[in-house]
Structure 1
């Protein structure tokens, strides 16, 4: 299953610009389409759509969320066993390894390098084997 764009689409193109895997196509001011073979179900298209024309894989209409309110990963460095899985799974490469901490060589802890690039998909938190990442609204992580 994948996200779908409904007939409510006004063709603004916001979803096309934001999709990290280029799964959305369509001409300006016309109905856009999601390629179900490419869609990774990150939800960015649904959060950015100004006319709520996106449904998730369950058919539920996605609500627009201001980009400034998108959840961001908060990393518990004490729980992190820096395996790098979160960095590898991020579809927009907004996480990066920090300098290794003393006694934890050669691996480094992840940090949110590109805050504005983060689409709030939560893939990093879902992949963390030790649950050291949780998604939080910006006011909690700032």
Structure 2
């Protein structure tokens, strides 16, 4: 069952529509929006941004808005990524790209623009090497540390 919008709670703020990676959400500003079930991939990107608690998850539970550091984002597993580029191709927001330090040689490292990533899980689903994961942004440092990789302060 896809995510749904409770019309009487929706204020038509457009936040969910802008965040949906598959353009499954439509409506008129300041009026109730609608999620097209055939297009919804159950990623939850809409629910974590809805200020009106107007979105129900796949189990019928009201979703809660999350602070930016709590929202799910793509995190690259530096040892598993093989540089195939499938995650880059599937990302609807173009937030995954070859690491600038390796673009000339493309040595299999990708980076994620955390400001544009909505955590839709498309990259994680297509990666056959467990090279990218979706998790709350605040868990990134601990995840990389557990792998033996440091994280500079600017990336935390």
Relative to the length of structure 2, the TM-score reads 0.74
Once superposed, what is the RMSD of the aligned Cα atoms? 2.3
- Supply the distance in 2 between the matched residues of 1:25 and 1:100 (Cα, whole angstroms): 37
Q: What do residues 11-39 of structure 1 show as CA deviations (whole Å, max 9, x unaligned)? A: 22211222233222222332111122332
Q: Which 5+ residue runs of structure 1 have no aligned equivalent?
A: none
Greater than 6 Å deviation, 4+ residue runs: none
CA contact (8 A) 2:5 2:33 kept: yes
Number of the residue aligned with 1:60? 61
- Supply the distance in 2 between the matched residues of 1:12 and 1:118 (Cα, whole angstroms): 20
Q: Does 1:116 align with 2:122?
A: no
Q: Offset of 1:50 from its aligned partner? A: 0.8
- Equivalenced residue count is 138
Q: What do residues 30-55 of structure 1 show as CA deviations (whole Å, max 9, x unaligned)? A: 21111223323321111111121111
- Supply the distance in 2 between the matched residues of 1:70 and 1:11 (Cα, whole angstroms): 21
Number of the residue aligned with 1:14? 15
- Supply the distance in 2 between the matched residues of 1:31 and 1:51 (Cα, whole angstroms): 11
Aligned ranges 1:1-142 → 2 under 5 Å? 1-6=1-6, 7-98=8-99, 99=102, 108-112=108-112, 114-141=113-140, 142=156
